[in-house]
Amino acid sequence: MFLYCGIACRRKFFWCYRPLSTYVTKTRYLFELKEDDDACKKAQQTGAFYLFHGLAPLLQTSAHQYLAPRHSLLELERLLGKFGQDAQRIEDSVLIGCSEQQEAWFALDLGLDSSFSISASLHKPEMETELKGSFIELRKALFQLNARDASMLSTAQALLRWHDAHQFCSRSGQPTKKNVAGSKRVCPSNNIIYYPQMVPVVITLVSDGTRCLLARQSSFPKGMYSALAGFCDIGESVEETIRREVAEEVGLEVESLQYCASQHWPFPSGSLMIACHATVKPGQTEIQVNLRELETAAWFSHDEVATALKRKGSYTQQQNGTFPFWLPPKLAISHQLIKEWVEKQTCSSLPA
C-alpha cells in the first residue's frame, strides 16, 4: 500500500511522493482497525487468533521453549462448532497487532463467560487435545517464550483481563459494549467511553557509586533479588514516586536520577514499568528495611552482581541451607536495568 505525505522544506511547502515506511503503514493500518468496526471485521476474515482459556494462553512445547500457535478464523469457527459454542463468541476477540504484511492478530479467551456463551469454561481438556497444546498460566510460561510471543501474550492477556473486568458501566450499572477491535467500551445508556488502562510502576536501581542496592520480597523465588519497585500514587511524577518508594522501602534519600527504559508488564493486571537508575550520597548508605514491604535489602558489589547475572534461576538449596543469589531473567526490565549498571561500572573502571 502506498501512502503519500506533504513535507515542508525551508522555502516552500510541496507534496513529496515518497512511500511510507513499513512501520508507518502498519501503524496507520492498526489505527484504522481500531477506529473502523467494519474494517476490523474484514481484517478478522484473513487474520490470526491467539487463544486463551481463563486468561491462560494456549502454548505448544518445542525444544525446551513454549510457542504460541495462531489459528485462522475458519479453524476457530470449526473449533467452536465442535464444542457447541456460538461463532458469535468471536466478537469477544481483541486486536493485539499485525504483521508487516498486514495480517491482523487477535486474541480470544474461550474460558471466560461471555454474553454469547455462559458455559464457556467447559471442555478445557478436550479443547487442549483438539488444539495439540495446553493452556498454561502466563506467570509460569513467560520466561520460556521468545521475546515476540512474550510481548504479544502479555498485551493480549492485559487487554482480555481489562474487558472481562469492565463489562458494566460504573455510573449507570448497564452492560458496556466493546468496539470490534477492543480498544474501548461504551455505555449505550450515557455514551461514557472506557479505554483500557495500565498502572504506572517505577523500578529503581539505587547505587552509591560503587555498589548497587537489591532487595527481596518474601513472595520472590528463593535466592532471587531485584531492584526496588513501587506503584505510582495518584498525583505523583515518576521522580516523586522514586524518591518516596526508596525512602519508604529502605530509608534512603535519592540524590540523582537517570531514565533507563520502560516495559509493559502483565502482572498484577497490566503495568507500565518505568526503569531508572538513582544515586544516594556516598556517606548516606545505611539501609533501614521496611519489613512490611520487603524481606531484606543489601548492597552488592560489581563483581557479585556481574557473576549473578550469568547465573540461571535456581531453586536448589545449597549444602549450608541457603539458596544461591540470582537475578530476574533477561525478559524482565529489572535484568536490563541491572545489566546496564554493571556495564557502566565496567566502562568507568577501565584505564583511560
Q: How many residues does the chain have?
A: 352
Q: First vs last Cα of the chain: how many Å apart? A: 52
Q: According to CB under 6 A, which residues from 287 to 316 bind ligand NAD?
A: 293
259 binds, among Mg ion, ligand NAD, none (CB under 5 to 8 A by kind): none
Q: Closest residue to Mg ion, Cβ-based?
A: 230
Q: Single out the residue of 98, 142, 229, 260 in contact with ligand NAD (rule: CB under 6 A).
A: 229
Binding mask 186-215 for ligand NAD (x = CB under 6 A): -------------x-x-x------------
Contact 232, 241 (CB under 8 A): yes
Three-state DSSP at 122 gives coil
3-state helix/strand/coil string of 305-334: HHHHHHCCCCCCCCCCCCCCCECCCCCCHH
Residue with cell 476477540: 93
Considering the complex, state which of residue 127 and residue 224 has its C-beta at the smaller distance from ligand NAD.
Answer: 224
Does 327 contact ligand NAD by CB under 6 A? no
In the complex, the smallest distance separating the C-beta of residue 273 from ligand NAD, rounded to whole angstroms, is 5
In the complex, the smallest distance separating the C-beta of residue 50 from ligand NAD, rounded to whole angstroms, is 21
CA atoms within 13 A on the CB side of 28: 11
79 binds, among ligand NAD, Mg ion, none (CB under 5 to 8 A by kind): none
Q: Single out the residue of 53, 308, 328, 345 in contact with ligand NAD (rule: CB under 6 A).
A: 328
In the complex, the smallest distance separating the C-beta of residue 194 from ligand NAD, rounded to whole angstroms, is 17
* DSSP 8-state assignment for residue 210: S
Nearest to 182 by CA among 25, 33, 75: 33
Contact 21, 4 (CB under 8 A): no
User: How big is the site for ligand NAD, counted in residues (CB under 6 A)?
Assistant: 17
d(CA 44, CA 6): 32
d(CA 87, CA 77): 6
In the complex, the smallest distance separating the C-beta of residue 231 from Mg ion, rounded to whole angstroms, is 8
User: How big is the site for Mg ion, counted in residues (CB under 5 A)?
Assistant: 2
Contact 77, 159 (CB under 8 A): no
Nearest to 289 by CA among 325, 240, 248: 248
Binding mask 227-256 for Mg ion (x = CB under 5 A): --xx--------------------------
In the complex, the smallest distance separating the C-beta of residue 3 from Mg ion, rounded to whole angstroms, is 45
**Residue 268, preceding bond cis, omega within 30 degrees?**
yes
Q: According to CB under 6 A, which residues from 252 to 291 bind ligand NAD?
A: 265, 267-268, 271, 273
Contact 30, 94 (CB under 8 A): no
In the complex, the smallest distance separating the C-beta of residue 158 from ligand NAD, rounded to whole angstroms, is 12
Interface ranges with ligand NAD (CB under 6 A): 199, 201, 203, 226, 229-231, 265, 267-268, 271, 273, 293, 328, 332-334
Residues of this chain that bind Mg ion (CB under 5 A):
229-230
